[in-house]
């Protein structure tokens, strides 16, 4: 890569700002929702100030039919319907139906309350509230009036980034928000609505096989599920061990792929408190798997919540760890799409993103 002249396209949309839930529940506590708009703004502001990036503001969304190449049409239609329904709420309707202190419709988000076991449903059901739980695996995907546009443009940023890789770009940063790797084909959750990395990887299949490298602190359960039986996509992930960490039911090393795609799923669960040395050793093993798969392109699910100051994580990665991780990934010398996932030490996210980008340029 000609590091002196190549400015990395940074794809961004203002629509993410319209999605800003404020609360989540955790055991008996009500907490501030950590997946805030400022996350993307800090990364964008910091990266643009480095002069390394070429800013691209995405103004036109991808089509629903393109999204449904990867995701379930029922879920996609549902998110649009409930989000548009939220836009019809007024202060009066909220005051009369809910005993709320804050009756500003812009601050109101719907949370799923019933999670039906799909194999025990005897009647089809169409109410928006009922369907919310049908299309969620947990309570952490609240929907407000701006959620549809935010999720749609987040997916578009990833999809367009993949298109630019197909055109020959060596490196793209898709600054997606909300994140995506917990969402599967037909389930939302974990602050995720549409699986942006999976949508990008599906598009990249035009170029040949794809390897996804997920370095978010949490297991990318949604991405794993989407490509479980897809032999053309290798999903790899380093994450906190599911014995003690969200999403609990996936991320074990013995999950290696479906019958049509054996050994195309590589999980490296690490125990709480993992250090940089432990993480980098797992990454070396992961990258050996990627090399053996010999993909045409790479998608990095780029979470920053393995950082030592992250309020949701327990790992001990330092600022400079992100340079080292990127340096190892870029040594693959493959076209690489960076897709933003989590990271909640908000004030540090710009610094971590800069470290990662600098590492990627150190080819």
> Is 177 among the residues that bind Zn ion (CB under 5 A)?
no
Of residues 73-132, those binding Zn ion (CB under 5 A)? none
Distance CA 330, CA 359 (A): 8
Least separation in angstroms between residue 5's CB and Zn ion is 34
Which candidate in 19, 159, 181, 182 is catalytic?
182
Least separation in angstroms between residue 350's CB and Zn ion is 18
Nearer to Zn ion (CB atom), residue 16 or residue 218: 218
> Is 218 among the residues that bind Zn ion (CB under 5 A)?
yes
The residue from 18, 35, 305, 310 that contacts Zn ion (CB under 5 A) is 305
> Is 220 among the residues that bind Zn ion (CB under 5 A)?
no
Contacts of 26 (CB under 8 A, 6+ apart): none
> Is 161 among the residues that bind Zn ion (CB under 5 A)?
no
Contact (CB, 8 A) for 319 and 283: no
Nearer to Zn ion (CB atom), residue 181 or residue 203: 181
Site size with Zn ion, rule: CB under 5 A: 6
Per CB under 5 A, the segment of 108-116, 194-202, 210-218, 265-273 that binds Zn ion is 210-218
Nearer to Zn ion (CB atom), residue 134 or residue 315: 315
Least separation in angstroms between residue 179's CB and Zn ion is 7
Distance CA 227, CA 231 (A): 8
Q: Is-catalytic flag, 182?
A: yes
Q: Which residue is nearest to Zn ion (CB)?
A: 342
Distance CA 8, CA 351 (A): 16
Contact (CB, 8 A) for 237 and 267: yes
Distance CA 246, CA 144 (A): 24
CA distances in angstroms from 21 to 109, 125, 143, 189, 330, listed in the order given: 7, 26, 8, 13, 35
> Is 316 among the residues that bind Zn ion (CB under 5 A)?
no
Per CB under 5 A, the segment of 49-57, 129-137, 271-279, 299-307 that binds Zn ion is 299-307
> Is 303 among the residues that bind Zn ion (CB under 5 A)?
yes
> Is 342 among the residues that bind Zn ion (CB under 5 A)?
yes
Binding mask 18-57 for Zn ion (x = CB under 5 A): ----------------------------------------
Per CB under 5 A, the segment of 160-168, 270-278, 279-287, 303-311 that binds Zn ion is 303-311
Least separation in angstroms between residue 352's CB and Zn ion is 13
Buried b (16+ CB within 10 A) or exposed e, 258-277: eeebeebbbbbbbeeebebe
Contacts of 83 (CB under 8 A, 6+ apart): 143, 144, 145, 146, 147, 148, 149
Least separation in angstroms between residue 312's CB and Zn ion is 7
Contacts of 68 (CB under 8 A, 6+ apart): 76
Distance CA 314, CA 329 (A): 23
Contact (CB, 8 A) for 237 and 266: yes
> Is 142 among the residues that bind Zn ion (CB under 5 A)?
no
Distance CA 22, CA 73 (A): 28
Nearer to Zn ion (CB atom), residue 109 or residue 217: 217
Least separation in angstroms between residue 237's CB and Zn ion is 11
Supply the Cα-derived Rg of the chain in whole angstroms: 20
Nearest to 305 by CA among 224, 222, 214, 197: 214
> Is 276 among the residues that bind Zn ion (CB under 5 A)?
no
Residues near Zn ion, by CB under 5 A? 216-218, 303, 305, 342
Residues with catalytic roles: 182
């Amino acid at each position: 890569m000609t590091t002196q002249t190549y400015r990395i396209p940074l794809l961004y949309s203002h629509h993410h700002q319209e999605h800003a839930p404020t609360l989540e529940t955790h055991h008996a506590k009500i907490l501030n929702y950590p997946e805030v708009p400022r996350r993307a703004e800090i990364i964008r502001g910091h990266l643009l100030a480095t002069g390394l990036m070429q800013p691209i503001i995405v103004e036109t969304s991808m089509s629903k039919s393109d999204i449904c190449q990867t995701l379930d049409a029922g879920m996609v239609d549902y998110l649009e319907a409930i989000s548009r329904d939220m836009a019809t709420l007024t202060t009066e309707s909220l005051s009369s139906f809910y005993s709320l202190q804050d009756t500003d419709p812009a601050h109101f988000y719907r949370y799923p309350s019933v999670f039906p076991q799909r194999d025990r449903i005897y009647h089809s059901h169409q109410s928006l509230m009922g369907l919310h739980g049908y299309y969620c695996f947990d309570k952490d995907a609240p929907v407000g009036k701006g959620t549809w546009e935010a999720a749609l443009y987040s997916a578009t940023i990833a999809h367009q980034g993949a298109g630019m890789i197909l055109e020959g770009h060596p490196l793209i940063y898709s600054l997606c928000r909300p994140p995506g790797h917990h969402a599967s084909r037909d389930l939302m959750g974990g602050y995720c609505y549409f699986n942006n990395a999976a949508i990008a990887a599906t598009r990249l299949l035009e170029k040949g096989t794809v390897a996804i490298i997920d370095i978010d602190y949490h297991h990318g359960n949604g991405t794993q599920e989407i490509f479980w039986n897809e032999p053309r996509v290798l999903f790899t992930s380093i994450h906190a061990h599911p014995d003690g960490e969200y999403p609990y039911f996936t991320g074990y090393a013995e999950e290696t792929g479906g019958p049509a795609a054996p050994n195309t799923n590589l999980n490296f669960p690490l125990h709480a408190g993992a250090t940089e040395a432990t993480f980098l050793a797992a990454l070396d093993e992961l990258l050996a798997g990627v090399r053996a798969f010999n993909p045409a392109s790479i998608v990095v699910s780029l979470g920053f919540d393995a950082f030592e100051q992250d309020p949701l994580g327990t790992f001990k990665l330092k600022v400079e760890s992100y340079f080292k991780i990127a340096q190892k990934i870029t040594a693959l010398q493959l076209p690489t799409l960076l897709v933003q996932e989590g990271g909640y030490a908000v004030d540090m996210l710009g610094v971590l993103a800069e470290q990662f980008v600098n590492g990627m340029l150190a080819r």
